[in-house]
Structure 1
Amino acid sequence: MTPAPSAPRYVFLDVDGTYAHHGEVPPGHERVVRAARVNGHRVLLCTGRPKSMLPDQIRAAGFDGIVASAGGYVEVDGEVLRDQRFPAELAARAIEVLDRHCAAYLLEAPEALYGRPGVDRRLGELLDGHFGRGRGADGAASPLEILKALETPDDLGSCSFAKITYFGAAIPWPELGAELGDQLGILPSSIAAMGESAGEIYLRGVHKALGIEAVTAHLGVPREDVIAFGDGLNDLEMLEHAGTGVAIEGADPRVLAVADLVVAGPQVEGLVEGFARVGLV
């Protein structure tokens, strides 16, 4: 293995498709995170999920902080550095558009998920094998386990949230995005089988690199000491910003194009090789 560098590095890990596979963290990934921290490096999760959708099994290795909600929420050593939510007008517009097009959606906040009554049942129906209850046939954790944080208040208009994930909309995501307006961004779902009926809605201009900048400014870290690992379109800014950007095999070509290195996916414990190649372990 490559010797660990003498200067500490600051590592930012995307969760789904990078650190975890179908919600499960491979043992090798947990092992190299622990080893990198023993070697003096700091490792943080950097995910599109809100903090409320990061169960214990994802965080079990121990992390120095979290960049969640795709950069909207940042926490380091238990201190919250950033917590950006939708302004009330944009929140109301997004809810109205999603309701009008019969989408099943989750309003994502650090403290909870918010949705209409019955949204958990509808998600189960829409996602079938992806979001089946209990554990899957292969023993993997059910993605619906994240709904333990779900609340269904009578008035969603009173909810404060940072991002939205939706499924089953009656129109394709590009058309839905046009109705949302230019202050909100939209990305297709990372679950390819959902096609154009699903996606993520976020505040335009908020992305993971902003979250990383909040961490590095707080800790006084130079950009060249940042190493980021990711596979999704919401990782583009993060990989471009990092001193070393590492993409996962099979990622979108736009993600691969901005990466300095490419490693295998979590289904074969690709971060074991990845951490070695950048000298963390």
Structure 2
Amino acid sequence: MTAQRIAFLDVDGTIIDAGEVIAPSTIEAVQTARANGHLVYLSTGRASVEIYPKIRDIGFDGAISAGGGFAEIGDDLVIARTMPEEAVARMVGFYEESGYDFYLQAFAELYPSPGVRGRFASYLQDDQERRGETRTDLDSVTDGREHPALKAFANVRPLSYTGIAKSVFLAGDLTAYDRVSEALSDDFHVITGTIPHMGRGSGEVTLGGVNKGTTILQLLDLLGIDAASAIGIGDSTNDIEMLQVCGVGIAMGNATDVVKAHADEVTTAVLDDGVWNAFHRHGLI
């Protein structure tokens, strides 16, 4: 067996596809790699509360969530890179003044604006035909009843300005990303959205310097593991820094060309054994 490695896996587009199904080979790859003594961590833009139980039940050694806002070793929260209250207030004020829907990600809570649930409900309704064409030999990571996102975004309550690590803004206006970037990028890290169906002007915002890559480096320091031993696998804009800091950065076959340009190599697509092939190539399985 090769020396112990540590792998960081994005969720959407890497572990599951847009139809929220997972290839059996991905589950096998994660579980076999861990049985062989390697570490496998999630590294996602989702908040911890948005990571479905069927994903966590695969078995991971920990997770980076909210695009680098938080990191867990096992069930222990070890890193929290949250925004000062005044920064959250500034960000929310701009969204509300601009009329954009948004939600805030804390470690265990989501704080949506009133229009967010409707956006997700509309997408899910429009997506039923495509979902009907999803391969039936694959397992869905949702429970088949009310979609978890609809449950999470139904709870519209007063916003919290403490413990917030990231926001997602949602807009059909193609100028929204440019406007948010112009208004906030002096203090914040603003990237294009990794949820394409939520509007082509959408995006994600963390504090300046907070991303998956910088949090991975902090986590590796806590674990006493050199970054050269790390493998990062992803497909979206918020994965770029992860691919850059890991010893091997691997883009999924379904990744954007921009993401592929930052990777050391490209594996196959999410439902074409992409994770399994990457793990096999590097001796984890």
Task: Tell me if 1:129 matches 2:132.
Answer: no
Secondary structure in 2 matching 1:110: coil
Give the Cα separation in 1 of the matches to 2:275 and 2:124.
28
Task: Tell me if 1:83 matches 2:80.
Answer: yes
Structure 1 residue 116, shift from structure 2 partner: 2.8
Give the Cα separation in 2 of the matches to 1:129 and 1:200.
23
Give the Cα separation in 2 of the matches to 1:197 and 1:127.
19
| Aligned residue number for residue 137 of structure 2 | none
Q: Is the 8 A contact 2:236 2:256 kept in 1?
A: yes
Secondary structure in 2 matching 1:182: coil
- Residue 132 of structure 2 aligns with an amino acid whose one-letter code is A
Of the three residues 224, 227, 233, the one matched with 1:223 is 227
- Residue 137 of structure 1 aligns with an amino acid whose one-letter code is G
Q: Cα 1:56–1:138, aligned 2, differ >3 Å: closer, same or farther?
A: farther
Of the three residues 51, 58, 65, the one matched with 1:68 is 65
Secondary structure in 2 matching 1:45: strand
| Aligned residue number for residue 280 of structure 1 | 284
Give the Cα separation in 2 of the matches to 1:253 and 1:119.
29
Give the Cα separation in 1 of the matches to 2:102 and 2:86.
18
Q: Is the 8 A contact 1:74 1:214 kept in 2?
A: no
Q: Cα 1:163–1:63, aligned 2, differ >3 Å: closer, same or farther?
A: same
Q: Cα 1:116–1:259, aligned 2, differ >3 Å: closer, same or farther?
A: closer
| Aligned residue number for residue 35 of structure 1 | 32
What is the aligned residue count?
A: 273
Q: Is the 8 A contact 2:33 2:39 kept in 1?
A: yes
Structure 1 residue 245, shift from structure 2 partner: 1.1
TM-score normalised by the chain length of structure 1: 0.88
Structure 1 residue 128, shift from structure 2 partner: 4.8
TM-score normalised by the chain length of structure 2: 0.87
Q: Cα 1:53–1:125, aligned 2, differ >3 Å: closer, same or farther?
A: same
Residue by residue over 1:87-128, the C-alpha shift from the partner in whole angstroms, topping out at 9 and shown as x without a partner, is 111111111111122222111111111123453124323665
Which structure 1 residue ranges, 5 or more long, are not aligned? none
Residue by residue over 1:243-273, the C-alpha shift from the partner in whole angstroms, topping out at 9 and shown as x without a partner, is 1111112423332223222101112221121
- Residue 77 of structure 1 aligns with an amino acid whose one-letter code is G
Of the three residues 239, 246, 252, the one matched with 2:250 is 246
Root-mean-square deviation (CA), in Å? 2.3
Give the Cα separation in 2 of the matches to 1:244 and 1:181.
29
- Residue 229 of structure 2 aligns with an amino acid whose one-letter code is D
Give the Cα separation in 1 of the matches to 2:266 and 2:22.
19
Give the Cα separation in 2 of the matches to 1:158 and 1:258.
34
Secondary structure in 2 matching 1:86: coil
TM alignment of 1:1-281, pairs within 5 A: 4-5=1-2, 7-22=3-18, 23-125=20-122, 128-130=125-127, 136-138=131-133, 141=142, 144-150=147-153, 151-153=155-157, 155-158=158-161, 160-168=163-171, 170=173, 171-194=175-198, 196-281=200-285
Q: Percent identity?
A: 32
Secondary structure in 2 matching 1:197: coil
Q: Is the 8 A contact 1:25 1:57 kept in 2?
A: no
Q: Is the 8 A contact 1:249 1:262 kept in 2?
A: yes
Give the Cα separation in 2 of the matches to 1:202 and 1:8.
32
Q: Is the 8 A contact 1:126 1:167 kept in 2?
A: no
